Amino acid sequence: GRRAYAPPAERKRFYQNVSISQGEGGFEINLDHRKLKTPQAKLFTVPSEALAIAVATEWDSQKDTIKFYTMHLTTLCNTALDNPTQRNKTQLIRAAVKFLETDTVCYRVEEPPALAELQKNEWDPVVAWAEKRYNVTIGSSTSILGPNIPASTKETFVSHLASYNMWALQGIEFVITQLKSLILSMSLIDRHITVEKAVLLSRLEEEYQIRRWGNVEWAHDYDLCELRARTAAGTLFVHLCSESSTVKHKLLQD
Protein backbone atom coordinates (compact mmCIF):
# COMPACT_ATOMS: atom_id res chain seq x y z
CA GLY A 1 0.00 0.00 0.00
CA ARG A 2 0.94 3.65 -0.15
CA ARG A 3 1.80 3.89 3.55
CA ALA A 4 4.07 0.86 3.43
CA TYR A 5 6.20 2.59 0.81
CA ALA A 6 6.86 5.74 2.83
CA PRO A 7 10.28 5.94 4.51
CA PRO A 8 10.70 7.11 8.13
CA ALA A 9 10.37 10.87 8.49
CA GLU A 10 13.91 11.33 9.83
CA ARG A 11 17.01 9.38 10.76
CA LYS A 12 20.52 10.27 11.84
CA ARG A 13 23.10 11.05 9.19
CA PHE A 14 25.21 7.89 9.10
CA TYR A 15 27.70 8.73 6.38
CA GLN A 16 30.57 11.18 5.97
CA ASN A 17 31.11 11.36 2.24
CA VAL A 18 28.70 11.39 -0.67
CA SER A 19 30.04 10.57 -4.12
CA ILE A 20 28.80 9.62 -7.55
CA SER A 21 30.04 6.73 -9.66
CA GLN A 22 29.07 5.43 -13.05
CA GLY A 23 27.86 1.85 -13.22
CA GLU A 24 26.45 -0.28 -16.02
CA GLY A 25 22.91 0.94 -15.49
CA GLY A 26 23.71 4.60 -15.04
CA PHE A 27 24.92 6.90 -12.29
CA GLU A 28 24.99 5.63 -8.71
CA ILE A 29 25.15 7.40 -5.36
CA ASN A 30 27.66 6.29 -2.74
CA LEU A 31 27.25 7.10 0.93
CA ASP A 32 30.80 6.43 2.15
CA HIS A 33 31.42 2.94 0.74
CA ARG A 34 27.74 1.99 0.62
CA LYS A 35 25.73 2.16 -2.58
CA LEU A 36 22.39 3.87 -2.16
CA LYS A 37 19.38 1.61 -2.63
CA THR A 38 15.70 2.32 -3.21
CA PRO A 39 13.00 1.53 -0.61
CA GLN A 40 12.45 -1.76 -2.47
CA ALA A 41 16.19 -2.49 -2.15
CA LYS A 42 17.00 -1.99 -5.82
CA LEU A 43 20.28 -0.35 -6.74
CA PHE A 44 19.71 3.40 -6.99
CA THR A 45 20.69 4.27 -10.58
CA VAL A 46 19.81 7.38 -12.53
CA PRO A 47 20.17 8.00 -16.26
CA SER A 48 21.39 11.59 -16.02
CA GLU A 49 24.65 12.80 -14.50
CA ALA A 50 23.17 16.20 -13.68
CA LEU A 51 20.31 14.45 -11.87
CA ALA A 52 22.78 12.28 -9.94
CA ILE A 53 24.66 15.42 -8.91
CA ALA A 54 21.47 17.05 -7.68
CA VAL A 55 20.51 13.90 -5.74
CA ALA A 56 24.01 13.69 -4.23
CA THR A 57 23.63 17.32 -3.18
CA GLU A 58 20.39 16.45 -1.36
CA TRP A 59 22.21 13.75 0.60
CA ASP A 60 25.25 15.91 1.29
CA SER A 61 23.17 18.84 2.55
CA GLN A 62 21.70 16.78 5.37
CA LYS A 63 23.12 17.86 8.71
CA ASP A 64 22.68 15.74 11.86
CA THR A 65 19.47 14.09 10.75
CA ILE A 66 18.36 13.03 7.30
CA LYS A 67 15.14 14.83 6.53
CA PHE A 68 13.58 12.62 3.88
CA TYR A 69 10.61 14.94 3.46
CA THR A 70 12.93 17.57 1.94
CA MET A 71 14.60 15.17 -0.51
CA HIS A 72 12.21 15.49 -3.40
CA LEU A 73 14.55 14.49 -6.22
CA THR A 74 15.60 11.34 -4.36
CA THR A 75 11.93 10.51 -3.84
CA LEU A 76 11.14 11.02 -7.52
CA CYS A 77 14.02 8.75 -8.55
CA ASN A 78 12.87 6.08 -6.08
CA THR A 79 9.37 6.24 -7.57
CA ALA A 80 10.76 5.91 -11.10
CA LEU A 81 12.91 2.93 -10.10
CA ASP A 82 10.41 1.10 -7.87
CA ASN A 83 7.18 2.11 -9.59
CA PRO A 84 5.25 1.27 -6.41
CA THR A 85 1.85 1.94 -7.97
CA GLN A 86 2.76 -0.51 -10.76
CA ARG A 87 1.46 1.68 -13.53
CA ASN A 88 2.60 1.34 -17.12
CA LYS A 89 3.09 4.21 -19.55
CA THR A 90 -0.47 4.09 -20.88
CA GLN A 91 -1.94 4.18 -17.39
CA LEU A 92 0.28 7.08 -16.35
CA ILE A 93 -0.71 9.09 -19.41
CA ARG A 94 -4.38 8.33 -18.86
CA ALA A 95 -4.13 9.49 -15.23
CA ALA A 96 -2.41 12.69 -16.32
CA VAL A 97 -4.89 13.57 -19.06
CA LYS A 98 -7.85 12.73 -16.82
CA PHE A 99 -6.87 15.74 -14.74
CA LEU A 100 -8.03 17.94 -17.57
CA GLU A 101 -11.63 17.20 -16.56
CA THR A 102 -11.04 18.82 -13.17
CA ASP A 103 -8.30 21.22 -14.17
CA THR A 104 -7.98 24.08 -11.68
CA VAL A 105 -7.78 26.78 -14.35
CA CYS A 106 -10.93 25.58 -16.09
CA TYR A 107 -13.16 25.65 -13.02
CA ARG A 108 -14.56 29.14 -12.53
CA VAL A 109 -16.68 30.73 -9.86
CA GLU A 110 -19.42 33.29 -10.43
CA GLU A 111 -19.31 34.62 -6.89
CA PRO A 112 -17.72 36.71 -5.51
CA PRO A 113 -17.24 38.96 -8.55
CA ALA A 114 -13.73 39.97 -7.45
CA LEU A 115 -12.58 36.35 -7.47
CA ALA A 116 -14.34 35.64 -10.77
CA GLU A 117 -12.51 38.62 -12.26
CA LEU A 118 -9.18 37.49 -10.82
CA GLN A 119 -9.63 34.00 -12.28
CA LYS A 120 -10.50 35.47 -15.67
CA ASN A 121 -7.48 37.79 -15.71
CA GLU A 122 -4.98 35.27 -14.44
CA TRP A 123 -6.22 32.01 -15.92
CA ASP A 124 -7.64 32.98 -19.34
CA PRO A 125 -4.17 33.76 -20.74
CA VAL A 126 -2.72 30.38 -19.76
CA VAL A 127 -5.74 28.51 -21.17
CA ALA A 128 -5.41 30.53 -24.37
CA TRP A 129 -1.71 29.71 -24.51
CA ALA A 130 -2.43 25.97 -24.19
CA GLU A 131 -5.15 26.12 -26.87
CA LYS A 132 -2.79 27.86 -29.27
CA ARG A 133 0.30 25.81 -28.48
CA TYR A 134 -1.50 22.45 -28.81
CA ASN A 135 -4.11 23.53 -31.35
CA VAL A 136 -7.00 22.36 -29.16
CA THR A 137 -10.23 23.61 -27.63
CA ILE A 138 -10.35 23.65 -23.86
CA GLY A 139 -12.46 26.52 -22.56
CA SER A 140 -13.60 27.04 -19.00
CA SER A 141 -16.85 26.64 -17.10
CA THR A 142 -18.78 27.80 -14.07
CA SER A 143 -20.75 24.56 -14.04
CA ILE A 144 -20.16 22.23 -11.12
CA LEU A 145 -19.38 19.54 -13.68
CA GLY A 146 -16.57 21.60 -15.13
CA PRO A 147 -15.78 22.18 -18.81
CA ASN A 148 -16.72 19.74 -21.52
CA ILE A 149 -13.35 18.73 -22.94
CA PRO A 150 -13.60 17.40 -26.51
CA ALA A 151 -12.22 13.90 -27.08
CA SER A 152 -9.87 15.29 -29.73
CA THR A 153 -8.30 17.59 -27.12
CA LYS A 154 -7.65 14.64 -24.81
CA GLU A 155 -6.21 12.64 -27.71
CA THR A 156 -3.81 15.48 -28.55
CA PHE A 157 -2.47 15.53 -25.01
CA VAL A 158 -2.26 11.73 -24.87
CA SER A 159 -0.24 11.81 -28.06
CA HIS A 160 2.01 14.58 -26.77
CA LEU A 161 2.70 12.90 -23.45
CA ALA A 162 3.51 9.62 -25.22
CA SER A 163 6.60 11.33 -26.60
CA TYR A 164 8.08 11.44 -23.09
CA ASN A 165 9.94 8.49 -21.60
CA MET A 166 8.72 6.69 -18.47
CA TRP A 167 10.92 8.61 -16.04
CA ALA A 168 9.89 11.99 -17.37
CA LEU A 169 6.24 10.87 -17.32
CA GLN A 170 6.46 10.00 -13.62
CA GLY A 171 7.70 13.55 -13.11
CA ILE A 172 4.95 15.09 -15.22
CA GLU A 173 2.23 13.14 -13.40
CA PHE A 174 3.74 14.23 -10.09
CA VAL A 175 3.70 17.92 -11.07
CA ILE A 176 0.09 17.59 -12.26
CA THR A 177 -1.06 16.13 -8.93
CA GLN A 178 0.76 18.90 -7.05
CA LEU A 179 -0.64 21.78 -9.13
CA LYS A 180 -3.98 20.02 -9.69
CA SER A 181 -3.81 21.19 -13.26
CA LEU A 182 -2.64 19.63 -16.50
CA ILE A 183 -2.63 23.02 -18.19
CA LEU A 184 -0.45 24.72 -15.60
CA SER A 185 1.89 21.74 -15.63
CA MET A 186 2.29 21.81 -19.41
CA SER A 187 2.79 25.55 -19.30
CA LEU A 188 5.55 25.04 -16.76
CA ILE A 189 7.18 22.11 -18.51
CA ASP A 190 7.11 23.98 -21.80
CA ARG A 191 8.92 26.79 -19.97
CA HIS A 192 6.16 29.30 -20.63
CA ILE A 193 5.89 30.17 -16.92
CA THR A 194 8.18 29.81 -13.91
CA VAL A 195 7.59 27.47 -10.97
CA GLU A 196 6.73 30.46 -8.76
CA LYS A 197 4.12 31.63 -11.25
CA ALA A 198 2.65 28.14 -11.73
CA VAL A 199 2.29 27.71 -7.96
CA LEU A 200 0.71 31.14 -7.61
CA LEU A 201 -1.80 30.37 -10.35
CA SER A 202 -2.53 26.99 -8.79
CA ARG A 203 -3.23 28.64 -5.44
CA LEU A 204 -5.11 31.63 -6.83
CA GLU A 205 -8.26 31.09 -4.79
CA GLU A 206 -6.29 30.47 -1.58
CA GLU A 207 -4.27 33.63 -2.16
CA TYR A 208 -7.48 35.54 -2.74
CA GLN A 209 -9.11 34.22 0.45
CA ILE A 210 -5.96 35.00 2.44
CA ARG A 211 -5.92 38.56 1.21
CA ARG A 212 -9.61 38.89 2.05
CA TRP A 213 -9.68 37.24 5.43
CA GLY A 214 -6.12 37.13 6.66
CA ASN A 215 -4.36 33.90 7.49
CA VAL A 216 -2.34 31.91 9.95
CA GLU A 217 0.84 33.26 8.46
CA TRP A 218 3.20 30.42 9.01
CA ALA A 219 0.74 27.82 7.79
CA HIS A 220 0.35 29.69 4.53
CA ASP A 221 4.06 30.11 3.95
CA TYR A 222 4.66 26.50 4.95
CA ASP A 223 2.22 25.17 2.35
CA LEU A 224 3.51 27.59 -0.24
CA CYS A 225 7.17 26.61 0.26
CA GLU A 226 6.33 22.93 0.23
CA LEU A 227 4.33 23.22 -2.99
CA ARG A 228 7.09 25.26 -4.62
CA ALA A 229 9.74 22.74 -3.56
CA ARG A 230 7.80 19.76 -4.89
CA THR A 231 6.81 21.49 -8.13
CA ALA A 232 10.37 22.70 -8.74
CA ALA A 233 11.73 19.21 -8.09
CA GLY A 234 9.21 17.62 -10.44
CA THR A 235 9.95 20.12 -13.21
CA LEU A 236 13.71 19.77 -12.89
CA PHE A 237 13.30 15.99 -12.85
CA VAL A 238 11.28 16.04 -16.09
CA HIS A 239 13.80 18.25 -17.88
CA LEU A 240 16.84 16.31 -16.71
CA CYS A 241 15.25 13.02 -17.79
CA SER A 242 14.26 14.43 -21.18
CA GLU A 243 17.52 16.00 -22.34
CA SER A 244 18.85 14.37 -25.52
CA SER A 245 22.11 13.47 -23.78
CA THR A 246 20.10 11.68 -21.12
CA VAL A 247 17.54 10.04 -23.37
CA LYS A 248 20.19 7.96 -25.10
CA HIS A 249 20.69 6.15 -21.79
CA LYS A 250 19.67 2.50 -21.45
CA LEU A 251 17.58 3.14 -18.33
CA LEU A 252 15.15 5.25 -20.34
CA GLN A 253 14.62 2.90 -23.27
CA ASP A 254 11.02 1.90 -22.78
Please identify, using beta-carbon distances, which residue of 53 and 118 lies nearer to another protein.
53
Is the CB of 161 or the CB of 236 nearer to another protein? 236
Instruction: List Cβ neighbours of 244 (8 Å cut-off, separation of 6 or more).
Output: none
Cβ distance to another protein smaller for residue 38 or 70: 70
The answer for residues whose C-beta is within 8 angstroms of residue 98's C-beta and 6 or more apart is none
Kindly tell me which of 29 and 138 has the beta carbon lying closer to another protein.
29
Q: Which is nearer to another protein, 236 or 251 (CB)?
A: 236
Indicate the residue among 20 and 43 with the shorter CB distance to another protein.
Answer: 20
DSSP 18: E
Please report whether residue 122 would count as binding another protein according to CB under 8 A: no
**Is residue 48 a contact partner of residue 241, using CB atoms and an 8 Å limit?**
yes
Residues 190-229 that bind another protein (CB under 8 A): 191-197, 218, 221-222, 225-226, 228-229
Our finding on whether 154 is near another protein (CB under 8 A) is no
Interaction of residue 236 with another protein, rule CB under 8 A: yes
Q: Which 8-state DSSP code applies to residue 43?
A: B
The span from the CA of 194 to the CA of 174, in Å, is: 17
Sign of CA dihedral 44, 75, 186, 157: positive
Q: Which of residues 59-118 bind another protein (CB under 8 A)?
A: 60-61, 67, 69-70, 72-73
Quote the least distance from Cβ 191 to another protein, whole Å.
5
Residues 20-59: x where in contact with another protein by CB under 8 A, - otherwise, as a string: x-----------------------------x--xx-xx--
Reported as type and span, the H/E element at residue 35 is: strand 34-35
Mapping DSSP to helix (H, G, I), strand (E, B) and coil, where does residue 66 land?
strand
Centre a 10 Å sphere on the Cβ of residue 8 and count the other Cβ atoms it contains.
7
In the complex, minimum distance from the CB of residue 172 to another protein, in angstroms, rounded to a whole number: 14
Is the peptide bond prior to 7 cis by the omega test (within 30 degrees of 0)?
Answer: no
Contact 175, 234 (CB under 8 A): yes
List 22's β-bridge partners, or say none. 27
Out of 76, 235, 246, 251, the residue judged to bind another protein by CB under 8 A: 235
The site that binds another protein (CB under 8 A) totals a number of residues, namely 33
Spatial contact of 135 and 167, defined as CB atoms under 8 Å apart: no
* Site residues, another protein (CB under 8 A): 20, 50, 53-54, 56-57, 60-61, 67, 69-70, 72-73, 191-197, 218, 221-222, 225-226, 228-229, 232-233, 235-236, 239-240
